[in-house]
Amino acid sequence: MSRDEQVGKVTLTTPSGRSSVEVLQYGATVISWKYDGAEQLFLSRQSPLDGSAAIRGGIPIIFPVFGSPSEYEDHAGLEKLPKHGFARTAEWKVIEGRVDKEVTASCVLELNSVDYKEIRDAYQWPVHLEYHIRLSDSPASLECSLKVKHLAGSSTMPARFHVLLHNYIAVGDATQAGVSGLKGVTYVDKNASKARVAESSDPILLHGQASDRVYQGGAPDVALLYNDGSGRQLVVSRSETLQDTTLWNPAEAAAKGLKDLHEGGWREYICIEPGSVAALNELPAGQEWVGTQQLRIVEGKSKV
What are the residue numbers of the active site? 166, 273
Rounded CA-CA distance 31/118 in Å is 25
Phi, psi angle pair for 28, to nearest 5°: 50, 40
Strand order of the sheet with strand 288-298?
A: 93-100, 104-112, 127-137, 140-150, 288-298, 233-238, 222-225, 178-180, 204-205
For residues 296 and 237, is the Cβ–Cβ distance under 8 A?
Answer: yes
Q: Shortest CA distance to 280 belongs to which of 81, 89, 29?
A: 81
Beta bridge partners of 111: 129
Q: Shortest CA distance to 181 belongs to which of 142, 140, 219?
A: 219
Question: Cβ of 291: how many Cβ atoms within 10 Å?
Answer: 23
- Which helix (H) or strand (E) segment holds residue 55: the answer is none
CA dihedral 277, 282, 287, 288 (to 10 degrees): 0
Residue 261 makes CB contacts below 8 A (sequence gap 6+) with: 44, 46, 47, 56, 250, 255
Rounded CA-CA distance 126/131 in Å is 17
